[in-house]
Structure 1
């Protein structure tokens, strides 16, 4: 058995494998990085909440200075969150794909999910521009179907990311969790694992 991936090592592996869409990623690597994301995003969310509350307080008390401070805090938090999300977009998808590989699945579903996400974001922007009040039934149906698709595919992704590693060497490489002791030995057309 190979050594376990720790909290700090998961962060190093995340940035080291920035654009690595090949190979496998252990479950601990994936979930420790999810915890790191939470740690990095919480300050932005706290700043967002403080800015929102400050702006609402300033508006309700007719204090333009307080409202402006709240607006500046909102702007700073949005910039921080946007930069962080853009910086981690590619390595997050790379790690998700490697996690799928670790469970013996292909990268097709994460790429389909990314395609759906991009297309529906564009579609939602068009709908919000043309029908901001959602007066047309077609706009409402498209929005509901989009969110249902996000939920279904998101839950499926979470379930796959919770599954244990495939014990044997698969087409994406040897198991990092169970070590290299299970190597395929070819006997004719069938592979037998030792």
Structure 2
């Protein structure tokens, strides 16, 4: 079984590795790392926002242009936001590769991995309409819920659990008969 420290090392070592596999422990230890880092970063952000705004004599809430916003925002806050953006971008690719490797380890075939990955991205990027379209809201939130539940189930499954499942699995016996 992989340790928490080893999962963090593997996370950065496999930055662009979308072809391998990731065990359950590797995936969930990194999920715990991400949660801990996010909580610490969120608390630090709140503290920096409070101290940055408190250090100003006058807080101007109305900004007509982006230039006015930048000019009236404390420089420490701008630097912190840029640093946060860079760190977020640094984490995106290895998080995606870890997720794809976990899907592959559960036994999904390449098409199923791509389909689940695409559904995840699409369901998280759908913009919600105005309040007058309640039907769309229910479909929107149920789609996100269903995709999230499927993701959770796939990431919890043991290694190669779905390998012999028709249509979505790697179907080892079929692959061996082709060779």
User: Which TM-score band (shorter chain)?
Assistant: 0.5 to 0.7
Unaligned 5+ runs, structure 2: 62-70
Match in the other structure for 1:177: none
Match in the other structure for 2:151: 157
User: Which deviations, in whole Å up to 9, do the C-alpha atoms of 1:64-87 show, x marking residues without a partner?
Assistant: 38x99x955654443333222211
Count of residue correspondences? 159
User: Which deviations, in whole Å up to 9, do the C-alpha atoms of 1:94-131 show, x marking residues without a partner?
Assistant: 1111111111123120222123434x2xx45xx6xxxx
Shift of 1:54: 4.5
User: TM-score, normalization: structure 1?
Assistant: 0.61
> Please, which of 1, 9, 12 is the counterpart of residue 12 of structure 1?
9
Unaligned 5+ runs, structure 1: 128-133, 173-183
Structure 1 residues 165, 141: closer, same or farther in 2, change over 3 A?
same
CA distance in 2, matches of 1:164, 1:152: 20
CA distance in 1, matches of 2:42, 2:12: 23
| 8 Å contact kept, 1:50–1:73 | no
User: TM-score, normalization: structure 2?
Assistant: 0.65
| 8 Å contact kept, 2:22–2:101 | yes
1:113 equivalent to 2:101? Answer no
Shift of 1:43: 3.1
| 8 Å contact kept, 2:22–2:102 | yes
Give the structure with the higher percent strand.
1
